[in-house]
Amino acid sequence: MLAGGPALAQTTAEAELQRETVRLRINGRVHALDLDPRTTLLDALREHLGLTGSKKGCDQGQCGACTVLVNGQRINSCLAFAVMHEGDEITTIEGLATEGALHPMQAAFVRHDGLQCGYCTPGQICSAVALLDEHRAGWPSHATVDVATTPALTDAEIAERMSGNICRCAAYANIVAAIREVAEGEGA
């Protein structure tokens, strides 16, 4: 007899009964998904909707490859359950481009060769978009010298704010250059 046998079959059957319909607004479209409540947002995106831009790197919230924007803020989608985000506005790398035109951050990453293997790139770009919003809002980072003022967007600030996104190819200098170009184009 296999380990687990009837007990495993019962657990699987119970999990099937506990599915629920979740309505997620992703890239401007509402999707109704029948999910196990334990399904991560990352798995809902990749496995149920075919939005494979967000990557499963470490599946522990350490690498940032799964970064998406939820209500404009970046999160590691591997650490969030999909059911937690019903009613939220979720933006993935696929949702940044509009009408076939790359988002300015996507275009800057291409111009500055801010990628090598490309695995981390969707998470890096989503994080960089949020970074600029956070900076415009005046949010300090650990690198901010005076937290009472809006920090200058120095290379140290950019590096600190992007520290949750790991690039195993070490394209960091080019990533910083891409972010700086977009920031300077926005007058940051």
Q: Which residues of 139-171 are buried (b: 16+ CB within 10 A; e: fewer)?
A: ebbeebeeeeeebebeebbbbbbbeebbbeeeb
Average pLDDT, the chain: 92
Nearest to 65 by CA among 89, 44, 42: 42
Domain that holds residue 173: 104-185
Answer yes or no: do 176 and 122 share one domain: yes
User: How many structural domains comprise the chain?
Assistant: 2
- pLDDT number for residue 186: 76
Q: How confident is the model at residue 2 (pLDDT cuts 50, 70, 90)?
A: low
Q: How confident is the model at residue 17 (pLDDT cuts 50, 70, 90)?
A: low
- Whether residue 143 lies inside any domain: the answer is yes
Residue 81 near residue 37 (C-beta atoms within 8 A):
yes
Answer yes or no: do 109 and 175 share one domain: yes
Q: Which two tokens stand for residue 159?
A: 């590096």
Answer yes or no: do 88 and 121 share one domain: no
- pLDDT number for residue 15: 57
Q: How confident is the model at residue 3 (pLDDT cuts 50, 70, 90)?
A: low
**Per-residue pLDDT for 13 more than 80?**
no
- pLDDT number for residue 156: 92
- Whether residue 4 lies inside any domain: the answer is no
- Whether residue 14 lies inside any domain: the answer is no
Last residue of a domain, one of 72, 95, 118: 95
User: What CATH number is associated with residue 67?
Assistant: 3.10.20.30
Last residue of a domain, one of 95, 128, 151: 95
**Per-residue pLDDT for 139 more than 70?**
yes
C-alpha angle 117/120/126, rounded to 5°?
A: 135
**Per-residue pLDDT for 62 more than 70?**
yes
- Whether residue 13 lies inside any domain: the answer is no
User: What CATH number is associated with residue 141?
Assistant: 1.10.150.120
- pLDDT number for residue 18: 87
| 34-60 mean pLDDT | 97
User: In terms of pLDDT, which residue wins out, 100 or 113?
Assistant: 113
Q: How confident is the model at residue 142 (pLDDT cuts 50, 70, 90)?
A: confident
